[in-house]
Amino acid sequence: MQNALKTAEIISSALPYIQKFRDKIFVIKYGGSAQLDEELKQKFIRDISLLHIVGIKIVLIHGGGKKINSYLDRLDIKSEFINGLRFTSKEAMEVVEMVLSGNINKEITALLNQNGTRAVGISGKDANLLKATPLDSGKYGFVGEITDVNAKLILDLLDDSFVPVIAPIAVDDELNSYNINADLCASKVATALNAERVIFLTDTKGILNKQGELISKLNKTKIDELKNDETISGGMIPKVDAAAWCCQNGVKSAHIIDGRLPHSLLLEFFTDDGIGTMIKF
């Protein structure tokens, strides 16, 4: 009986948050361990289904770096990273698109549908969803910078109660495909949709101070300070920059949370304190 009462109390305590977020748009970048570990993957899919059922409009954008690496290695296609971004040759781009659009995207979509959530898998090439130009004049090969988002397509899908699952592949006017960093893709999509929140799942607790302790809230001034003293460094810089850019361009808040923790999405949004770092300007 005690366990049943505790479960009922937990469900009841989530009610104010469910009411608050109903019909709001959440853009979620899905990657890291949450995408690779089978148990975490199943729990993440169930959490997305729950968020969808209670009326939150979910847009899911996924990465796939480790699986891309695996396929490139198998095919003996060399790949290197420059400033944290994969240099993508024409040959590598074919593999990137195959893995992201044809493999990972369809797996996620199928799992959501299996759990009773109406999901549709698309890439940025569908209906010109994501238009792009070469990043830094082609310094990174076929890595793109998004110039336009077809927000109407996503909004139409959301209005029809679908969960769009987006592979971060974009296209230019000459129909060249471009590899888009999934964090940057999420930030561009969230801004185009004027989303309530954008969420980045990572393999860390969030933003940590020099003592390794979680920083639960950040604003622009504090972000600048932490970057200047190199508390925020390396691969976390583009993630934080993407989150900050969203907040500067209409998104209510950005969240960097630990995807290694089961039910991290529910803990972040349906509890008072959350479990990650919230960025709000």
Q: Is 179 annotated as a binding residue?
A: yes
**Residue 52 vs residues 7, 48, 107, 269: alpha-carbon distances, Å:** 21, 6, 18, 13
Give every strand in the sheet of 144-149, ordered side by side: 144-149, 130-134, 169-171, 177-179
Helices 182-192 & 236-248, crossing angle to 10 degrees?
10
| N-term to C-term CA, the chain | 44
Rg (CA), the chain: 19
DSSP 8-state class, residue 275: S
Q: Is 64 annotated as a binding residue?
A: yes
What is the Cα–Cα distance from 242 to 234, expressed in whole angstroms? 14
Strands (E), 70-182: 80-82, 85-87, 119-123, 130-134, 144-149, 163-167, 169-171, 177-179
Q: Which residues are annotated as a binding site?
A: 64-65, 86, 179
Binding-site residue set for substrate: 64-65, 86, 179
